[in-house]
Amino acid sequence: MDRSKKERTIERLQKALDKAPQLRKLSTSSLVFKSWRKYTEKAIARAYGEDDDAVREFTEISFSPPSSQTYALSEALWGQNVPRMSDQGAFDIGLSKASVLLTSYIEDIEDFWDDGEGVPDTASPSRAGQMDSKRIFVVHGRDKGPKHEVARFLGGLGLVPVILDEQADKGRTIIDKFEEEAREVGFAVVILTPDDEGRLRNSDAKPSARARQNVIFELGFFAGVLGRKHVCAIVKGDLEIPSDYDGVVYIPYDDSEGWKMKLFRELKSAGIDVDANRVF
C-alpha cells in the first residue's frame, strides 16, 4: 500500500531537519548548503503550498550578518550601538531558526493532518497561532510612565504585554529581535510621547514636539502587518501626528484615565477576548 502524503511530507521535512546540524561548519557559499536550502524550501512548498506563510518564513531566514546599512538604521532608530555579528555566528543562528521552523512544521503535520488524504482537518495551530491574540506589543518612547501604566492595564485584562527591551536577546540583532517578537502578537498599542523636537529644514518656525523615530517606524510596521484595526495609538501631550496615518483614531493619554475604556473598546472591536469586569 502506498504511503500517505502525510508520511512522505514528514519524511522530507525530517530529512532536511537532520541535515541542518551537519552544515554548521560550512558557509552560505557552500554548494552543500545551497542544495540543502533549495531542497528544504521545495519540501515546505510541497507540504503547505507555494504561497503559504510557511514558505515565506523559511525563505526570509538570513544566514548572513546584517548589512552595514541595517546596522546604521538600527542604531538610528533605537539610539544605541549594535554589536556586530560574525559570518559564522549569523550562519549558525540561521540554521537554528530553520531547525525550529522545521520542527514546528513536523509537529503540525503529525498532530493536525488526516492520516489518509494528508490534508489539515482544521486551520493549522502552528500557522494561525503565531499571531497570539493574548500577546499585545507595547511600543513606547523615553517616557516610561505611560509604558508601565499601559502594560499594567493590559495585564489586568488577562493579556500579555510584550515590551521589546524586556524580551531575551537570544543572540539576535535588535531588528531581528523586533521582527520575531512582532510576528507573535495579535495587537499593538503604540504610545507616542513628546520625546523629540523637529521642524522643516531652514524654517524659522519653533520646533514642534515629536515621538521618537523608532516609535513612528514601529507604528507604520504594525499598521502594515496587523492592519490598522489591530493597532491603537495613544498620544500623550501635544505633538505632531504622522501625516500619512490619517483616518486613525488616536486616544489621548489623560490623567483621568479615560484612555483605559477607549483602549478596552478598541481591543474588543479587534476581536481580542477581554473581560471588563477584571478592571472596571
Average of pLDDT values for 150-163? 92
Q: pLDDT-derived band of residue 214, with 50, 70 and 90 as boundaries?
A: confident
pLDDT tens per residue across span 240-275? 776 555 556 688 888 778 899 899 988 888 888 887
d(CA 47, CA 258): 49
Could you tell me which residues are beta bridge partners of residue 136? Answer: 161, 187
Q: 36 and 56: one domain?
A: yes
Q: 206 and 263: one domain?
A: yes
In the three-class reduction of DSSP (H, G, I as helix; E, B as strand; rest coil), residue 108 is classed as: helix
Q: 160 and 210: one domain?
A: yes
Burial class of residue 166, CB neighbours in 10 A (0-12, 13-18, 19+)? exposed
Q: Is the pTM of this model over 0.85?
A: no
pLDDT of residue 2: 45
Give me the chain's average pLDDT, please.
81
Q: 37 and 173: one domain?
A: no
Residues 6+ apart with CB under 8 A from 131: 183, 184, 185, 186, 226
Q: 141 and 264: one domain?
A: yes
Q: 136 and 121: one domain?
A: no
Q: Which of 91, 110, 125 is the last residue of a domain?
A: 125
Q: 107 and 143: one domain?
A: no
d(CA 184, CA 129): 8
pLDDT of residue 241: 73
Could you tell me which residues are beta bridge partners of residue 252? Answer: 235
pLDDT tens per residue across span 120-136? 444 343 333 345 578 99
Query: The domain spanning residue 140 has which CATH number?
Result: 3.40.50.10140
What domain count does the chain have? 2
Three-point CA angle 212, 217, 222, nearest 5°: 125
Q: 51 and 182: one domain?
A: no
Q: 12 and 114: one domain?
A: yes
CA quadruple 50, 55, 59, 63: dihedral, nearest 10: -150
Q: 153 and 120: one domain?
A: no
**pLDDT of 276 over the 80 cut:** no
Q: 103 and 136: one domain?
A: no
Tell me the residue type at 247: G
Q: 92 and 142: one domain?
A: no
pLDDT of residue 129: 39
Q: pLDDT-derived band of residue 153, with 50, 70 and 90 as boundaries?
A: very high
Domain that holds residue 38: 5-68+77-125
